[in-house]
Amino acid sequence: MSLVLNSKKIIFIVGPTGVGKSETAVALAKRIKGEIISCDSMQIYKGMDIITSKPPLSLRKKVRHHLIGAISASGEYNVSRYRKDALKKIRNIIKRGKVPICAGGTGLYMSVLINGIFDLNSKNNAVRKHLIKLAEIKGSSFIYKKLQEVDPVASAKIHPHDVKRIVRALEVFEVAGSPISQLQKQRKGLSEEFDINIIGLNRKRDELYRLIDERVDGMFEQGLLQEAKRLLKSRLSKTARLVIGLRELKGYFDGLYNLDEARRLIKRNTRQYAKRQLTWFRKDKRIQWIKLKEGDSSTQVAQRIMRAAS
């Protein structure tokens, strides 16, 4: 079964951590002349190889990967920067006649690529401070009523007590002169220009959780303790410090609990993260889900993706 390719094809492989995205992406890339762009908010950092479960070098040597270990863990990185970097990679891959395969579990990164991002230069500190002060003096209901008057569409999507979002919407209206709901319609993503296929990988919950537990055990065998100790001594960005495993092992290093407890916490928190990832992705009805079974090879899954994306 061959995938019908065109110069506008982009494939996304998403799903919870530990499900098998990396191996599947490589197997697929080898069959369709693809290159892989990481869609993971933590694997972008250098020196965080074990704790972020980066694809092993053996896999990365088989197929070209992008945006893995690309920036210093001390540097701040955000959605806007990721979108800019990933779009550049995507266009370059397509220009060279290859197929971009965006693989990873960070739903927000996937969303800003496919749907676009609201990136209007509409910030004004003076306006924002005034609105915040207004909310403090007269209450959130007062500024919410103002939002209802100027942008009823946006107000319908914002809770009356969500001061931060109300202030932002009013700030945009004051600075740009247009409702934020109208401006957001103007954003453009990959779906406006390319043939997008989003493939979601999942497994039975008990099987997925077992694989997560096994992955964590493997991380310890690979030297997770030594890597975490080095990272905790270094200057990390606020985002990098959020990686699962760092806080849990700091508790162990600080003598709050033993190593077995640290391991248990990492497994538990990783499973909870996988659950949150699935909740995010299940909201997107464009995703074609593939249920993996124990024993499925990455080659078999890649073939199923080729059929789904053809």
Question: What's the pLDDT at 1?
Answer: 43
Reported as a single tens digit per residue, the pLDDT across 203-240 is 999 999 999 999 999 999 999 999 999 999 999 999 99
CA pair distance 234, 104, nearest whole angstrom: 26
Question: Per the structure block, which two tokens stand in for 294?
Answer: 């124990």
Helix, strand and coil percent figures for the chain, each rounded to 5:
55, 10, 35
Reported as a single tens digit per residue, the pLDDT across 121-172 is 667 888 999 999 999 999 999 999 999 999 999 999 899 999 999 998 998 8
Helix (H, G, I), strand (E, B) or coil at 49: coil
| % of the chain with per-residue pLDDT over 90 | 83
Q: On the CB side of 141, how many CA atoms lie within 13 Å of its CA?
A: 0
197 or 79, which is more confident?
A: 197
pLDDT for residue 53 is more than 80 = yes
Q: In this structure, which amino acid lies at residue 298? A: S
CA pair distance 277, 42, nearest whole angstrom: 14
CA pair distance 240, 77, nearest whole angstrom: 9
pLDDT for residue 4 is more than 60 = no
Q: Which of 107, 39, 105, 47 is nearest to 75 (CA)?
A: 47
Reported as a single tens digit per residue, the pLDDT across 54-110 is 999 999 999 999 999 999 999 989 988 999 999 999 999 999 999 999 999 999 999
Angle at the Cα of 68 from the Cα atoms of 62 and 70, rounded to 5 degrees:
130
Helix (H, G, I), strand (E, B) or coil at 308: helix
Q: What is the mean pLDDT of the chain?
A: 93
> To which H or E segment does residue 36 belong?
strand 34-38
Whether the Cβ atoms of residue 73 and residue 47 lie closer than 8 Å to each other: yes
267 or 154, which is more confident?
A: 267
pLDDT for residue 301 is more than 80 = yes
Beta strand pairing call for 34-38 and 195-202: unpaired
- Cα dihedral sign for 171, 176, 178, 179? negative
Complete domains list, the chain, with CATH: 9-117+190-309 (3.40.50.300), 125-184 (1.10.20.140)
CA pair distance 82, 54, nearest whole angstrom: 17
Q: Which of 8, 6, 7, 13 is nearest to 308 (CA)?
A: 13
Tell me the pLDDT band of 196, cut-offs 50, 70 and 90.
Answer: very high
> To which H or E segment does residue 224 belong?
helix 224-233
| DSSP state for residue 240 in the 8-state scheme | G
pLDDT for residue 185 is more than 80 = no
